[in-house]
Structure 1
């Protein structure tokens, strides 16, 4: 259990530094530990909420959150995340869908961007349309969805890197809350109790790691590092899950 707590701490630190909660990697670590896959989303989403609540607050306090655009994307995605949480899914499908989607998402980060610096890509107008399916996918596999959204925002030159990290953080927070509600309604009280029993030490670990990571994102990490860190983390986790 000690190694798992340490892994959750490091994961929260790294993911919070790019505006994520780490739900995808929490799922992978728990799966490797032999935890019932039906409990995984409950633990991962709870950890997500703890990590990105602090990150969202820090980003907002620093004045880097683009509220109008961030709230629009989040409001569209949240009901879909709730529906995704309610949807039954098998173990093989769960890991396969999560892994494949993360690898594909990471690859988009390495595509060339045609627009000049600071100029949004015309495709950025379609981002609200993408928010609903991203929210559904997030609720289905027990993540916040920011790891899917952020690469699209970077690719479309939607905003500067820290604003994208702040948007992803808010997106994850709200989707995790709605997705967790759907998962609880689907699994019942017994599964929630099992998740709390297994996940409490992990939640404490990610609370500490997430605070450190969000502080690094605001004060020390260059914007280019945030972008490439997003891609590398996404690709590594997706590949690991597919294996």
Structure 2
């Protein structure tokens, strides 16, 4: 458990610094620890909520959340995340779907973006709401917040500057995690949630500490281009580990 606690703290710190909750990596760490895959989404989503709540508050206080467009994306995705959480999925499909999605997402982050283009959105940026529902469903299905899928799309279309995208992803994850968790609880029952919390309470404390440090770094210290590069590196590493586990 001490090693797992340390890994969760570091994961929360790193992911919060790029506006994510870390749900995908929590799931990977728990899977490598031999935890029942049916419990993974419950623990990961609860950890997501702890991390991104603090991050979203910091982003809001810093005035970097573009509220209206971020709220539109989130409102479209949340019901789909709930439906995804209700959908049964087998263990092999769970790991394959999550790993493949993350690797492909990371590759999109490596596409070159010209300096200064962040302020000139691509014409496809207006179509981002169309992707919100399927991304929300996929997130609910595999038990994460979905920001890790949304952010690369927003970067690719130059939807906004990297810091605003990180803030939007944080809000997106917060709401989707709530709706996805509700679906997962209805699917598995309260007994499975109690089992997840019995094991996961120390992990929640670890990610709370790491998430606060990471979100502070995101708001005050991290250069914008590092946010994009850090996102790509984190997503690719997690996806690769899941596919090769």
Q: Scaled by the length of structure 2, what TM-score is found?
A: 0.98
Shift of 1:116: 5.9
Instruction: Name the CA shift for 1:113/1:220 in 2 (closer, same or farther; >3 Å).
Output: closer
Q: Distance in 1 between matches of 2:135 and 2:195?
A: 28
The residue number in structure 1 matching 2:131 is 130
Q: Distance in 2 between matches of 1:115 and 1:200?
A: 43
Q: Distance in 2 between matches of 1:163 and 1:151?
A: 13
Pairing 1:149–2:137 present: no
Q: Distance in 2 between matches of 1:135 and 1:108?
A: 18
The residue number in structure 2 matching 1:17 is 17
Is the contact between residue 115 and residue 121 of structure 1 (CA under 8 Å) also seen in structure 2? no
Q: Distance in 1 between matches of 2:32 and 2:116?
A: 43
For residues 12-62 of structure 1, give each alpha carbon's deviation from its aligned partner in whole angstroms, at most 9, with x where no partner exists.
000000000000000000000000000000000000000000000000000
SS of the aligned residue for 2:189 comes to helix
Is the contact between residue 17 and residue 215 of structure 1 (CA under 8 Å) also seen in structure 2? yes
SS of the aligned residue for 1:50 comes to helix
Trace 1:219-238 onto structure 2 (pairs within 5 A).
219-238=220-239
Runs of 4+ in 1 over 6 A off after TM superposition: none
Shift of 1:113: 4.0
The residue number in structure 1 matching 2:101 is 101
Is the contact between residue 184 and residue 191 of structure 1 (CA under 8 Å) also seen in structure 2? yes
Trace 1:1-243 onto structure 2 (pairs within 5 A).
1-113=1-113, 117=117, 118-243=119-244
| Number of equivalent positions | 243
Q: Distance in 2 between matches of 1:239 and 1:43?
A: 21
Shift of 1:123: 0.8
Specify every segment of 5 or more residues in structure 2 that has no aligned partner in the other structure, as ranges: none
Q: Distance in 1 between matches of 2:115 and 2:215?
A: 29
Q: Distance in 2 between matches of 1:116 and 1:177?
A: 35
Shift of 1:112: 3.1
Shift of 1:126: 1.1
Is the contact between residue 121 and residue 156 of structure 1 (CA under 8 Å) also seen in structure 2? yes
SS of the aligned residue for 1:147 comes to helix
Q: Scaled by the length of structure 1, what TM-score is found?
A: 0.98
Specify every segment of 5 or more residues in structure 1 that has no aligned partner in the other structure, as ranges: none
For residues 206-230 of structure 1, give each alpha carbon's deviation from its aligned partner in whole angstroms, at most 9, with x where no partner exists.
0000000000011111001001000
Instruction: Name the CA shift for 1:134/1:115 in 2 (closer, same or farther; >3 Å).
Output: farther
Q: Distance in 1 between matches of 2:110 and 2:222?
A: 19
SS of the aligned residue for 2:104 comes to helix
